[in-house]
Chain A
Amino acid sequence: MKFTPELEIPGGCIKPLHYDDIDGLFELYKHPEIPGQRPLEDKEQLNRMIDYSVQMAATQRGMMWAIETEGQIKGMVSGFDWQPSNLRIVMRVDGLPSLTVEERAGALKAAIGFLSKKYHVRNFAYQWIEGQSDDIKVALSECGFTLAARLRDGWRTGNTEFSDVEQYHWVSSDDKPVPRKLGDDDELGQNLNANKRGES
């Protein structure tokens, strides 16, 4: 079953996590961007994360893509804390130092475009944590996000140390979906293969 599509971005694509990409993903997790997050030491843990990424997408709890440009995994774009009935989700991009602002914004836009069109998600949040690069805020601005709140000490970085969190939002102005009669919709589980019968 396939729930996470591969999507084009300038210079590359965002694509579902795959076991073949574990080395690239491991490199990414060795360079965490989030303050207080330790580099990953055990590559095997990524196998489980890839399993989770499929389960999360299938149950509409989240979606994860690898960002690939110039033939190299340079980051990940993810949606988590997905609340389908409230049509909202929190987005996150993790990148290697080589991931450019343009690539970051492109990946975010592609993921948001898909979630917006396919699942009618309207409200996208992004949490920037004090200590992260200001370049992330440039990418957010490029995608139309605006600052909604600064959550004091919202992120714990050590036993007694905390960082503020700036919460950004982008809310789509598209019309809300009109619910259809249950059973009339053949997009069961939003499985992308099932939606294209005869093509999968």
Chain B
Amino acid sequence: MSWNFETEHFLIRLPVSDEDGTALFKLLSQDSAVAHIPRLPMTVEAQALDELRRIAMRFETREAAFWLIERKSDGDVIARIGIQYINWMMLNAQLQWELSAECGLEELQEVLPVIVGYLSQDLHLHRLEMRLRTGSENHSNMLVELGFSREGTLPSQQEFEGEDIDLDVYSLLKGELKA
């Protein structure tokens, strides 16, 4: 069973711990890529190496899987898309994405069907959920365009930079993706 995929313009691949540190740091050091989660941007490259090692361990135990979206034309990593908190009993998981400025709706419409198809057909997941910091309009608009439904807002889910953060919940059930 391969976890690496390909579309016309992109490689959708699991990261390589010893090789992808620089590319991941470049992506996750941008505030715009992580503000919707919310998370602080990375400040030193060692954080990306730590993250790669953590993700490798979480993948080994099938707790999570994160794919790098690499543009074939220049080898740039334009996004990371993953699932975590996989509940194999309930057949659901949380989707998370971190997007560079070069990854918008058009790019997501190319890569997401492959990822979602794999999650639903091969892993039999029924429900994918994404949680966004309330007010992340750009992300919520793209989710709705892709077929996700807004389900509500969970209050005070975490404290971030001294603020209580509410998270909007979006979900996609099997067969609902629009591409």
Contacts and interface: CB of A to CB of B under 8 A. Distances in A.
Contacts of A30: none
Given A86-B157, A122-B156, A150 B127 contact: no
Interface of A is mostly: strand
A15 interface: no
Interface in B156-172: 156-159, 169, 171
Interface string A117-157: 00000110100000000000000000000011111111110
A151 B127 CA distance: 10
Given A153-B127, A155-B90, A156-B91, A148 B153 contact: yes
Contacts of B92: 153-154
A154 B85 CA distance: 13
Binding site secondary structure of chain B: strand
Interface residues of A, number: 19
Given A156-B89, A167-B154, 7 more contacts: A148-B153, A148-B154, A149-B153, A151-B151, A152-B127, A162-B127, A171-B156
A74 interface: no
Interface of A: 86, 88, 122-123, 125, 147-156, 162, 167, 169, 171
Interface in B72-97: 89-92
A43 B128 CA distance: 36
Given A154-B90, A154-B92, A149 B151 contact: yes
B70 interface: no
Contacts of A156: 89-91, 126
Contact of A148 (B89, B90, B91, B152): B152
A152 B155 contact: no
